[in-house]
Amino acid sequence: MATPSVLIAGCGDIGGRLASRLLPLGWTVHGLRRNVAKLPQGVHGVHGDLFDARIPEQWPEGRIDYLVYCATPTARDEAGYRAAYVQGLRNVLGWIERSGQKPRRVLFVSSSSVYGQQNGEWVDETSPAEASGFSGQVMHEAEQVALKSGWPASIVRLTGIYGPGRSDLMNRVRQGYSVAVEPPLYGNRIHADDAAGLLAFLLQADADGAVLEDCYIGVDDAPAPLAEVVDWMRERLGVTQWSDEHTVRRTGSKRCSNARAKALGWVPQYASFKEGYEALLQAPHNP
């Protein structure tokens, strides 16, 4: 299709990275956020509040071929999650419907927190999504809103995002952070650029006529025990001591598979945490 258009609702870090990938491909990109001054150059700003049911005054009048819903909660409690992911999504879907626009596909950016597996199991898009925590439960509820929107929809379950401005783990390792070795606490990661890259890949694939599944997991090629990641990072940072005060014994442990996305042709730029964190360490701004 010629010059496809996309509305990125909640166009923050990942949404901005997505926009920067689509613009050189000739896409028309609308970005909805409270502060449109922070949008990348070339994005058509839509000043709006996802939590306000009233349609934004700057709502695009032309067609919207794709909607990417990429919100971030303002509060990390159940009410905050419900407002951002369930009610916010319903608001945007309502604005599209009232405007008479008919997107070819909705992409809802979700999270691997919808999975409740805790024993290092391999998880894919067909695995039961039965989270015990409110965040995963609310996210799964929001997924159903997207899938039942009346338009074709795909869920993209991103794992732990890291990258520029998202170096919390690195900072904790500098403070002496350590983690239990046994049993292995597997973690799943995706660099922020790869998260945006996967979304761009799926959008372009759909625009080119590929048949998309209703769900994809966004993760690198190599889920790894958190202790392995911390040990590698400690060596690279020259950290030789650690404190029991900074020891973490979390419960979640699973290994997410990216086989479905790779079967479609997607390849992450950073295959594992080593490539991704090495790029962060080599960046000029890294302290």
| All domains in the chain, ordered by first residue | 5-166+188-220+254-271 (3.40.50.720)
Burial of 26 (0-12, 13-18, 19+ CB in 10 A): exposed
Give the bridge partners for 256, in sequence order.
Answer: 123
Of residues 150, 140, 156, 159, the one with CA closest to residue 254: 159
Q: How far apart are CA 136 and CA 78, in angstroms?
A: 10
| pLDDT of 248 | 60
| pLDDT of 285 | 61
Residue type, 272: S
Give the bridge partners for 158, in sequence order.
Answer: 111, 218
Under DSSP, is residue 140 helix (H, G, I), strand (E, B) or coil? Answer: helix
* pLDDT tens series, the chain, 287 aa: 578 999 999 999 999 999 999 999 999 999 999 999 999 999 999 999 999 999 999 999 989 999 999 999 989 999 999 999 999 999 999 999 999 999 999 999 999 999 999 899 999 999 999 999 999 999 999 999 999 999 999 999 999 999 998 878 888 888 888 777 778 889 999 999 999 999 999 999 999 999 999 999 999 999 999 989 999 999 999 988 776 655 665 567 899 999 999 999 999 999 999 999 999 998 766 54
Burial code (b: 16+ CB inside 10 Å, e: under 16) for 152-189 equals ebbbbbbbbbbbeeebebbebbeebbbbeeeebbbbbb
| pLDDT of 202 | 98
| pLDDT of 270 | 98
Q: How far apart are CA 16 and CA 8, in angstroms?
A: 9
Tell me the whole-structure pTM to 2 decimals. 0.95
Distance of CA 164 to the CA centre of its chain: 15
What single string gives the DSSP state of each residue in 248-280?
Answer: E-----EEE--HHHHHHT---SS-SHHHHHHHH
Helix (H) or strand (E) holding 179: strand 178-179
Of residues 149, 166, 279, 170, the one with CA closest to residue 229: 170
Structure tokens at 16: 């901005």
Sequence-separated (6 or more) residues with CB below 8 Å from residue 98: 55
| pLDDT of 222 | 96
| pLDDT of 241 | 79
| pLDDT of 169 | 87
Contact yes or no for 139/111 (Cβ under 8 A): yes
| pLDDT of 2 | 73
